[in-house]
Amino acid sequence: MGLRRLDLRGFSGDRRELTDLLPRPVDEQDRSSEAVAAIIAEVRADDDDALRRLTARFDHVDIDDLRVSPEEISAALARIPSELQQALDVAHDRILAYHAHEAGEAPEDFVSGGITVRHVLRPVARAGCYAPGGRARYPSTVLMCAVPAHVAGVEEIVLCVPPGPDGRIDDATLAAAAVAGVTEVYRVGGAQAIAAMAYGTESIAAVDVIVGPGNRYVAEAKRQVSGVVGVASAFAGPSEVVVIAGPDTPAEFAAIDLVVQAEHGPDGLAWLITWSEQKLEQVCAAVDRIVAASPRRADLEATLGAGGWAVLVDGPKQACAVSNVVAPEHLEILTKNAESLLAHIESAGAVFLGVNAPASVGDYLAGPNHVLPTNRTARFASALRVDDFRKHIHAVSMDDEALRTLGPHVVTLAQTEGLPAHAESVQLRWPT
């Protein structure tokens, strides 16, 4: 069949024009999304029985014990040829050395055994930022999304904001866009804004990364387009807080900070965790007083009624354990020994230590980003940061001696995997 030809002579160099000219990959996501959704639903419903049934259907083999025993793993290592074991050991050691180098504070270039790996950082070309609207305006979110993109070196920063009833975007939000160096602003919100930034429309060119919080529909839209574009900070959805309070915690402080997150709107989460029954009663009473006096009483009551909890535990360590399961967007440890409890925290978007550091400070000007993982995604995700707008490219070079020494291991691994062209690509270059 041969290679298909594409003549780009006379091309102007414009990125959007080139995107239109080049063949697009087949959108396998559309083709396979329903089938994958059905498989996921089947596994969630039937657990291991579903795994066995699906393995028989797709792999044509009946499996009883899904887990491979440690003895079987050890026996496999003993059975393989010595040259394959040596190749695996060499590859393992080199992969380990590189990633240990990458994780440390070593110089960027990794040099080992005649191979040099340079660490090259490149910003994405176009970033899409989403700032919520409707119930409130969020110029702070514009800053939080656009500033790290600018620091990363992104040239085109797009902002989508839901329009107000008059079809306009408020001045504070637009002013924040001007301050942060946003290059394009569009008056469109909701899941439709996420779709537009991911796939592109006549007015809005597609972006490479989408960031910013939103309601559950915005968060779900970001989840669905993930893979078409980069989606940072995992599931940045409705606001969440866990407040850990001890006997010494001022009840009013804990109460107002619970209400702060509920103020963001529906589907939020506000948890109080304490080992003092007296403190629990004091904080709950204070929350009731604050809500009753608020001009947004109905909204607060609805949010706290659905997502507000007061949890009594045995002690500080148990409080941290509960918080780790909740994996909240914001965690406030409002105790005198807050620093000592930090060692027990494993999952949280951001942690605020002591009574002088409420989450509101982090919302505006502490420095770190307030776009944080929600819906328990803090188990594996982090706050929005500069790296979310950058790509890490490793550039590898190799001298003759390295090719002579390491090449045989590449050939062994390639032949083991049944990839003869991989092996030949090294053998053709063999130093003579």
CATH number at residue 132: 3.40.50.1980
Measured between alpha carbons, how far is 401 from 179 in angstroms, rounded to an integer? 54
pTM for the model: 0.82
* Residue 67 maps to a domain: no
- What's the pLDDT at 14? 74
* Residue 51 maps to a domain: no
* Domain co-membership, 250 together with 320: yes
* Residue 145 maps to a domain: yes
* Domain co-membership, 295 together with 197: no
* Domain co-membership, 227 together with 256: no
Q: Which domain holds residue 342?
A: 240-375
What is the number of domains present in the chain? 2
- What's the pLDDT at 128? 97
* Domain co-membership, 151 together with 262: no
* Residue 190 maps to a domain: yes
* Domain co-membership, 314 together with 295: yes
HEC profile of the chain: CCCCCCCCCCCCCCHHHHHHHCCCCCCHHHHHHHHHHHHHHHHHHHHHHHHHHHHHHHHCCCCCCCCCCHHHHHHHHHHCCHHHHHHHHHHHHHHHHHHHHHHCCCCCCEEECCEEEEEEEEECCEEEEECCCCCCCCHHHHHHHHHHHHHHCCCEEEEECCCCCCCCCCHHHHHHHHHHCCCEEECCCHHHHHHHHHHCCCCCCCCCEEECCCCHHHHHHHHHHECCEEECCCCCCCCEEEEEECCCCCHHHHHHHHHHHHCCCCCCEEEEEECCHHHHHHHHHHHHHHHHHCCCHHHHHHHHHHHEEEEECCCHHHHHHHHHHHCCCEEEEECCCHHHHHHHCCCCCEEEECCCCCHHHHHHCCCCCCCCCCCCHHHCCCCCCHHHHEEEEEEEEECHHHHHHHHHHHHHHHHHCCCHHHHHHHHCCCCC
* Domain co-membership, 253 together with 206: no
* Domain co-membership, 342 together with 219: no
Q: Does the annotation count 370 as an active-site position?
A: no
- What's the pLDDT at 25? 57
* Domain co-membership, 131 together with 194: yes
* Domain co-membership, 246 together with 347: yes
* Residue ranges for the chain with pLDDT beneath 70: 1, 3-5, 13, 18, 22-32, 105-107, 134-135, 233-235, 431-432
* Residue 421 maps to a domain: no
- What's the pLDDT at 180? 94
* Type of residue at 10: G
* Domain co-membership, 156 together with 280: no
* Residue 72 maps to a domain: no
- What's the pLDDT at 235? 62
* Domain co-membership, 195 together with 255: no
Measured between alpha carbons, how far is 136 from 61 in angstroms, rounded to an integer? 56
* Residue 254 maps to a domain: yes
* Domain co-membership, 279 together with 199: no
- What's the pLDDT at 3? 62
CA nearest to 375, candidates 310, 329, 409: 329
Q: Does the annotation count 330 as an active-site position?
A: yes
* Residue 136 maps to a domain: yes
Distance of CA 342 to the CA centre of its chain: 22
- What's the pLDDT at 256? 96
Active-site entry in 240, 329, 332, 409: 329
Active-site entry in 330, 332, 370, 409: 330
